[in-house]
């Protein structure tokens, strides 16, 4: 890592979630090792983190706790955390009428912080650096209701927040059970993603369960997604996590 880059950031380093070379390199890679651009990106992030406060201790509105699906469940074969997003049941219009857009974005910021924390815990546990996460998007039930413009715009802001605050954090994103409408939906939001992130989006076909097992041990995959993992009460969807 360039000592010059670290030197320029001396005033903000104490307020960043990590100060090691691995963390700082993410920002350099995200800006193709252009030091001024990487510094500007990190300073912007530091400002955003100050304004969001501490999301892990945030008491989320009940409607978000109840209706925002998805969660961390298991680890891939390299030890990276796996997060599932369940798109079908999401009612964007209902959520935006019941909660503020800022709260929805803050909730996703919280999810990202939980993933970052999970990466740190895995790094300590495995004795190697775990920096990236695997994501599985279950798109069954994706329909026209999900294409309501205010909801799409909000989702775009969430994707931008992820790109700006968590560069080099996504290992791969698997799309499963994608309906015919998926390309239309993806086209509405893909411009919010960096070219590097787009390359990591993999739309799986009918053999998606076998492909997931190539990257994630079946013991770490919920039964609902072709694995053997269940909740303690036998729930095949692992609803307590996902």
The reported pLDDT for the residue numbered 12 is: 86
pLDDT in tens, 71-118: 999 999 999 999 999 999 999 999 999 999 999 999 999 999 999 999
Structure tokens at 219: 């013991």
Instruction: Identify the structural domains of the chain with CATH numbers, from first to last.
Output: 3-52 (1.10.8), 58-225 (3.40.525.10)
Q: Is 236 helix (H, G, I), strand (E, B) or coil?
A: coil
Question: Going by DSSP bridges, is the β-strand pair 71-75/81-86 parallel, antiparallel, or unpaired?
Answer: antiparallel
Q: In whole angstroms, what is the distance from residue 180 CA to residue 19 CA?
A: 44
Say if residues 162 and 198 touch (Cβ distance below 8 Å).
no
The reported pLDDT for the residue numbered 46 is: 78
Residues of the chain with pLDDT under 70: 1, 50-55
> Which one-letter DSSP state was computed for residue 14?
G
Mark residue 176 as left, alpha or beta (left: phi above 0; alpha: psi -120 to 50; beta: remaining): beta
**pTM of the model as a whole:** 0.91
pLDDT in tens, 191-209: 999 999 999 999 999 999 9
């Amino acid at each position: 890592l360039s000592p010059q880059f670290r030197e320029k950031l001396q005033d903000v380093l104490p307020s960043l979630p990590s100060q090691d070379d691995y963390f700082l390199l993410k920002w350099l890679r995200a800006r193709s090792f252009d030091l001024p651009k990487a510094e500007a990106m990190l300073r912007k992030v530091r400002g955003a983190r100050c304004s969001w406060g501490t999301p892990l201790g945030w008491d989320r509105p009940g409607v978000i706790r109840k209706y925002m699906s998805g969660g961390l469940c298991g680890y891939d074969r390299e030890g990276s955390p796996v997060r599932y997003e369940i798109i079908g049941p999401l009612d964007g219009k209902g959520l935006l009428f019941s909660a503020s857009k800022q709260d929805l974005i803050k909730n996703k910021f919280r999810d990202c912080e939980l993933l970052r924390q999970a990466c740190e815990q895995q790094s300590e546990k495995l004795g190697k650096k775990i920096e990236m996460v695997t994501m599985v998007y279950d798109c069954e039930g994706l329909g026209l209701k999900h294409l309501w413009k205010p909801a799409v715009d909000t989702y775009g802001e969430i994707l931008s927040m992820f790109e700006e605050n968590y560069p080099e954090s996504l290992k791969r994103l698997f799309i499963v059970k994608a309906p015919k409408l998926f390309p239309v939906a993806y086209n509405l939001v893909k411009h919010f993603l960096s070219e590097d992130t787009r390359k990591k989006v993999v739309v799986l076909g009918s053999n998606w369960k076998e492909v997931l097992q190539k990257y994630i041990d079946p013991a770490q995959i919920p039964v609902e997604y072709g694995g053997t993992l269940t909740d303690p009460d036998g729930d095949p969807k692992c609803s307590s996590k996902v």
